[in-house]
Amino acid sequence: SGKRANSFSKHRKDSSNEGSKDGRIAAHGFTFRELATATRNFNPTNLIGEGGFGRVYKGRLESTGQARV
């Protein structure tokens, strides 16, 4: 039974990329196992900060590269 978690990241085109800024937001679904692997099992050295929705970790996802979880 795979629990899913969402990761949100804001993508903004810079002026060197066709001169437009669209401020799109994308959501991706990941399993808990994928997130644990990406953050090295939520290692404290990967902790970026803490907010109203919980802790934020940096990690590396095989499919998309670096991410905030």
pLDDT tens profile 50-62: 999 899 999 988 7
Read off the DSSP letter of residue 33.
Answer: H
Q: Does residue 34 register a pLDDT over 60?
A: yes
State residue 14's pLDDT score.
Answer: 43
Q: Residue 35, CB half-sphere, CA atoms under 13 Å: how many?
A: 18
State residue 7's pLDDT score.
Answer: 55
Read off the DSSP letter of residue 38.
Answer: H
Q: Are 34 and 67 in contact (CB under 8 A)?
A: no
State residue 13's pLDDT score.
Answer: 42
Q: At 14, is the secondary structure helix, strand, or coil?
A: coil
Q: How many CB atoms lie within 10 A of CB 46?
A: 18
Domain positions in the chain are 4-68
State residue 45's pLDDT score.
Answer: 96
